[in-house]
Amino acid sequence: MLDALHPGRIDLGVGRSLGFTAPVRRALRHDPGPDVDAALAAGAEAFAADVEELRAHLDGTAEVTVRPATGRAIPLHVLATGRGLLLAARLGLPVVVGGPVLASADVGDALAAYRSAFRPHPGGPERPQVMVSLDAVVADTAAEARELALPEAHAMALSRTTGEFGPLQSPADLRSAAWPDQVRRRVETHLDRTLAGTAPQVRAALEELVERTGAEEVLASTSTWDRAALLEADRALAAALGGS
Interatomic CA distance for residues 167 and 224, integer angstroms: 10
236, 141 contact by CB (below 8 A) = no
Low-confidence ranges of the chain (pLDDT < 50): 244
What is the predicted pLDDT for the residue at 65?
A: 81
Among 159, 151, 143, residue whose Cα is nearest residue 224: 151
What is the residue extent of each domain of the chain? 2-128, 134-240
**What is the C-alpha R_g of the chain?**
20
pLDDT single digits (tens) 99-153 = 888 888 899 999 999 999 999 998 889 999 999 999 999 999 999 999 999 999 9
What is the predicted pLDDT for the residue at 11?
A: 92
Residue 73: DSSP 8-state: P
**Across-strand partners of 151?**
none
CATH number for 2-128 (one of 3.90.320.10, 3.20.20.30, 1.10.760.10, 3.40.50.2300): it is 3.20.20.30
Interatomic CA distance for residues 118 and 79, integer angstroms: 16
What is the predicted pLDDT for the residue at 41?
A: 61
Enter the pTM of the model: 0.86
